[in-house]
Amino acid sequence: MTDLDLAVIGNCQIGALLDRSARVVWACVPRFDGDPAFCSLLNGDGEAEAGYYDVELEGCTRSEQRYLPNTAVVETLLHDANGGGVKIVDFAPRFERHRRFFRPTMLIRIVTPLAGRPHVRMRLRPLGAYGAVRPTLTHGSNHIRYVLPGMTLRLTTDVSITAMLEERAFVLDHAVALVLGPDGGDGGGRSDARRGLELRRVAIVQRECDVLVLEQRAGMRGDPTLEQRPRRRERGRVLRVTHEPGRRASLRAVNAGHRQA
């Protein structure tokens, strides 16, 4: 794709880039220097067959997008030709637990109907080995596992698993949540309980999700700067995201091992 008008979400552990339709076009797992499980950004102008994660609204005619105030939570509104619409909220959680900040390698998506009877199709198509390998899929009653070389992603959701696997369009008549991250590898029990807790936390995102703060530069109204700053110095590439007046987020990479604190 040549349109680099992208939004960014992150929590200092993981980051992702979204286009104006809330399609995740770039995200490395489990760190900023990891394998790009979502890499359709590099596909040029052609339609990518995989390497993305999106919510497709049938008959979509326009979209709107913004950051929720003082957060790196991205809200996208999609509208169709029949007056229907959906709201998509994307973020990477960061919240306090046991007097410490918890920054899981996780992307959370909440999709809510706004009007009419919107028909949506949800597509999750990660790739492995830098875009060369498609995953092997396994699933349970409320999750899908995407087995890739060197890692396994797990999607836990209250969306119909059949609709997700078959990428079938369905009428969205209530809010749904999707939690995506590395698989815990414990085979059920504790993992399912933990994912259930994460889904419940979705409902209180604006109170608990203390994601990247939009800091106003001195003397420049409407010019927030976002930086993904790990607490420890680590070598590797870390995203620095800057929003200039009249423009959306742009990216530049810095070397975390040599950056000033």
pLDDT of residue 100: 85
- Given pLDDT bands bounded at 50, 70 and 90, which one contains residue 1? low
pLDDT value, residue 169:
97
What pTM value is reported for the model?
Answer: 0.75
Instruction: Report, as an integer, the average pLDDT of 143-152.
Output: 95
Find out whether 86 and 118 touch, Cβ atoms under 8 Å: yes
How big is the CA angle at 107 (ends 94 and 51), to the nearest 5 degrees?
150
97 pLDDT more than 90: no
Check whether 86 has a pLDDT greater than 60.
yes
Q: Is the pLDDT of residue 190 over 50?
A: no
User: Mean pLDDT for the chain?
Assistant: 77
Q: What pLDDT, on a 0 to 100 scale, did the predictor assign at position 246?
A: 42
pLDDT score at 75: 96
Domains of the chain (ranges, CATH numbers): 7-255 (2.70.98)
Higher-confidence residue of 206 and 202: namely 202
pLDDT at 138: 97
Residue 215 has pLDDT above 50, yes or no: no
Q: Higher-confidence residue: 143 or 94?
A: 143
Res 245 pLDDT > 70: no
Residue 209 confidence (pLDDT): 40
Distance (Å, whole) CA 145 – CA 158: 15
Band of pLDDT at residue 236, cut at 50, 70 and 90:
very low
pLDDT reported for residue 213: 35
Q: Which two tokens stand for residue 112?
A: 């809510």
